[in-house]
Structure formats: structure tokens, C-alpha cells
């Protein structure tokens, strides 16, 4: 059993070593990241990035990443790597995001660009290959973007993929395969998958309605019809409202001054509403007419939708109302297994310590608020006792009640 285990570990290690790692960034060398990442100069008021692990973390050094630092700003920064094509092999894009600021509106996604991108001029309209990651704005927008550029046009996924909206670090992974399938994972677990042709409008539909086909004039698609034998009862028609039979003219009614008195109207208890004949099965019913379809002459299959020939830059190009998001653990590879293992070694190793640190901070903050409340009550009680006023006790009780309602 030990030999088998060792053999498996060796084989697994060999599989991982063969993986092509096109880009990997964990910000483990301090400010040296500034030599690898280029901040765009397209706008003069882009927000500033800083290296930080945030207010809570699993590892003070390993969890450092690029953090947005100014509210209500656009951000634009990118990093270059050796260009490559994903033809004939998987493409895996992975990174971590932490919205520790309780984000209300802002992006947490990455963009993958062609190698010919001018990094110093990168901006929101710069053409990209892929846009992937979470986007949050209010209660209505909390989704994962998966956008591909195909023949110069950006195509949004037709499915709705929910993103994480809490304050913890989360791992986002996009897998694009040469068989034209894809998979989206959050925290190393699959949340969506499918085919490129079905889940995006890259190509015209394979089948369309036959423009020459028309529903026959004698086609009867009414499942029910009025019963020709049914007739309206003679006593059916009754007025909807009638004069109130119990109403009496007021004693002080003056017809010369008030006009002729008329009793008020009330709903007629015998009113039956509009009469309609009974419905029966239509003997001529042929069912719902289905428009015949034909092959779409404008459709041409394309087995290379997944392929990008000159991948060479990854960037963060986004807007944030409230800053504080941290991006880390960037990875671009052709090996799904390697990406999963690296995700487990990075995000997976620090997620529990991060959670414990946050819970400890929240508990300490709760205790501090309780102590502040008690101190406020003690100070007020002492002050009122010294004044010895007749309304001191009621005022004290009211104040204590208000303080206890404070968060």
C-alpha cells in the first residue's frame, strides 16, 4: 500500500510538472510587483493600488494582493507574459477576490488581452479576449461575468451565475476546453458548465422558421368554443345597481333648494353579470399550429470558437464605489488539475485561518461596544446623582434604554 501511494504521488507530481504555467502572480516579493504590473495612463485620475493582506487574513504574507484604495474611482493595471495560443488545449484562468469592504457596487473581474495591447493606454474600450469574474452593484447585480470576444464582438453568457457577496476571500476559476465546452468554479467547486455554442450567441441558430410556411386559413386552433345550443335565460338581465328600497327622503329636504330627491343606489343582489354561453370542446380543433423549421442558410459551424491566438496580457480594468477589494493568486495555465491543486495550496490553505481571525475581530469589537455602553451609563448615572434633580431617575432609565439599543 505504501509503494502504491508513493507511485501515485510520483505520477501526480509528474502530471503537474508537465502543466504549462503561462502566468502566475502571488505578490510574495513586496513592492517588486510594480516592475511587473503597469498602471494605465489613459486617465489622469485612476485609483491607486496598494499591496495589502487586508484587515483579516489567513497568512500575513501569503495573502497580500493588489487592493483598491480610493472610493469612487476607475482602476486600470495589467501584467504581461510570454504570448501563447490555446489551440488544441485547455485554457484555465484563476484568481482570488476578497471584498472585505462590504462592497455595494464594483467589479471584481479580470480581463485577458491580446499581446499587442498598449498597457499604458489600457481602458474600458480596449479590446480583450476574455472577461471573467464577479460583479456586484446593489441587490440586482450579483453575478459572475463570462464574456468572450468572437470576431471582434463581445458576447455575454446567456446564463445567470451568482457570485459570492460576503467579505471573505473566494477563488474563481474559468476552464475553456478545445471541445468547445466550459466550466466555471467558485472555491474549487463547479457552479456552471455547458457548451460555447449553446450558452452564447456566437453563431446564428442552426434552425429557423420556414419563411415560406404559413398557417392554413382553415386551421382551427381553438380548443374550446361557445356551445351553440346554450341560450341566455329570459330573467338573466338585471341592472347592476338599484335604488335603495330602505332609503327615505330626509325631513329637511327642500325640493326647491335641493332639487328632486332620489334614493341612493346600491348593488343589485339579483345582478348576474354579463352572460356568456357555456364552453364545449371544439370538434374542428386541430391543435396548436407549429411553424415548420428549416436549416438556417446563414449558419456555418465553427469548431474554433474557443481558440485565441495571441494571449499575452492580464489586467484589472474596473470601477468601484467603495474601495478595499484585494486581488491575488493569479494563474493562467493549460492544466485543470494543476489549477485545482494550486487553488487548494493558496486559497484552500488560508481560508479557515482567515475566517477565524475575522470572527475573533468581530467578537472583540462586540465586547468593546458593550464596554462603551456600560461606560456611558455609568457616567450619566454619576452625573445625575450629583445634580439630585426630581426627574433624574426617569431620565436615567430613558437614557439607558436608548444606549442599549445602540449597535
Binding residues for Ca(2+): 26, 62, 64, 328
* Strand, helix or coil for residue 115: coil
Three-state DSSP class for residue 355: helix
Binding site: which residues? 26, 62, 64, 109, 111, 128, 135, 317, 328
Closest by CA position to 41, among listed 119, 107, 155, 120: 120
What is the C-alpha end-to-end distance of the chain, expressed in Å?
58
Q: Among all chains, which residue has been given the C-alpha cell 503561462?
A: 22
Strands (E), 229-289: 241-243, 265-267, 279-281
Reference 177, options 84, 92, 82; nearest CA is 92
Would you say 132 and 161 are in contact if contact means Cβ atoms under 8 Å apart? no
Determine the longest span between alpha carbons in the chain, in angstroms: 117
For 37-58, what is the HEC assignment?
EEECCCCCCCCCEEEECCCCCC
Q: Could you tell me which residues are annotated as the binding site for an alpha-D-glucoside?
A: 109, 111, 128, 135, 317
| CB neighbour class for 349 (10 Å; exposed up to 12, middle 13-18, buried from 19) | middle
Burial of 40 (0-12, 13-18, 19+ CB in 10 A): buried
CA proximity to 346, closest of 109, 111, 98: 98
Cell of 400: 439607558
| 3-state helix, strand and coil shares in percent for the chain, rounded to the nearest 5 | 25, 30, 45
Residues in contact with 275: Cβ distance below 8 Å, sequence separation at least 6, in sequence order: 232, 233, 236, 237
| Residue 162 DSSP class | B
Question: CB–CB of 94/315 below 8 Å?
Answer: no
Helix (H) or strand (E) holding 133: strand 130-137
- Supply φ then ψ for residue 90, to 5 degrees: -65, 155
Residue count of the chain: 407
Report the C-alpha gap between 283 and 299 in whole angstroms. Answer: 41
Amino acid at each position: 500500500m505504501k509503494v502504491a501511494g508513493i507511485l501515485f504521488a510520483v505520477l501526480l507530481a509528474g502530471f503537474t510538472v508537465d502543466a504549462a504555467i503561462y502566468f502566475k502572480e502571488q505578490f510574495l516579493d513586496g513592492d517588486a510587483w510594480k516592475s511587473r504590473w503597469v498602471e494605465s495612463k489613459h486617465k489622469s485620475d485612476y485609483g491607486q493600488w496598494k499591496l495589502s493582506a487586508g484587515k483579516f487574513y489567513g497568512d500575513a504574507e501569503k495573502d497580500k494582493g493588489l487592493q483598491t484604495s480610493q472610493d469612487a474611482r476607475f482602476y486600470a493595471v495589467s501584467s504581461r507574459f510570454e504570448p501563447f495560443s490555446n489551440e488544441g488545449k485547455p485554457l484555465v484562468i484563476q484568481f482570488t477576490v476578497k471584498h472585505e469592504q462590504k462592497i455595494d457596487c464594483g467589479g471584481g473581474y479580470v480581463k485577458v488581452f491580446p499581446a499587442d495591447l498598449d498597457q499604458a493606454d489600457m481602458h474600458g474600450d480596449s479590446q480583450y479576449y476574455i472577461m471573467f469574474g464577479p460583479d456586484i452593484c446593489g441587490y440586482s447585480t450579483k453575478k459572475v461575468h463570462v464574456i468572450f470576444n468572437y470576431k471582434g464582438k463581445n458576447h455575454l453568457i446567456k446564463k445567470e451565475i451568482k457570485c459570492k457577496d460576503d467579505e471573505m476571500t473566494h477563488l474563481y476559476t474559468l476552464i475553456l476546453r478545445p471541445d468547445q465546452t466550459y466550466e466555471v468554479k467558485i472555491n474549487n467547486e463547479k457552479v456552471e458548465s455547458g457548451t460555447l455554442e449553446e450558452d452564447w450567441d456566437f453563431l446564428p441558430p442552426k434552425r429557423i422558421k420556414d419563411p415560406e410556411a404559413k398557417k392554413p386559413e382553415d386551421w382551427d386552433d381553438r380548443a374550446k368554443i361557445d356551445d351553440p345550443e346554450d341560450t341566455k335565460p329570459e330573467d338573466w338581465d338585471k341592472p347592476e345597481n338599484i335604488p335603495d328600497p330602505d332609503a327615505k327622503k330626509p325631513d329637511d329636504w327642500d325640493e326647491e333648494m335641493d332639487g328632486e330627491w332620489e334614493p341612493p343606489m346600491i348593488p343589485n343582489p339579483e345582478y348576474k353579470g354579463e352572460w356568456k354561453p357555456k364552453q364545449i370542446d371544439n370538434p374542428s380543433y386541430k391543435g396548436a399550429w407549429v411553424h415548420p423549421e428549416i436549416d438556417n442558410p446563414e449558419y456555418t459551424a465553427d469548431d474554433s470558437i474557443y481558440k485565441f491566438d495571441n494571449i499575452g496580457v492580464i489586467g484589472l480594468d474596473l470601477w468601484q464605489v467603495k474601495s478595499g477589494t484585494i486581488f491575488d493568486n493569479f494563474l493562467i495555465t493549460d492544466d485543470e488539475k494543476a489549477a485545482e491543486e494550486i487553488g487548494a495550496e493558496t486559497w484552500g490553505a488560508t481560508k479557515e485561518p482567515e475566517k477565524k481571525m475575522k470572527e475573533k475581530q468581530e467578537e472583540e469589537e462586540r465586547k468593546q461596544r458593550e464596554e462603551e455602553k456600560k461606560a456611558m451609563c455609568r457616567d450619566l448615572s454619576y452625573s445625575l446623582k450629583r445634580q439630585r434633580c426630581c426627574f433624574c431617575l426617569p431620565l436615567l432609565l430613558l437614557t439607558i434604554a436608548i444606549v442599549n439599543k445602540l449597535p
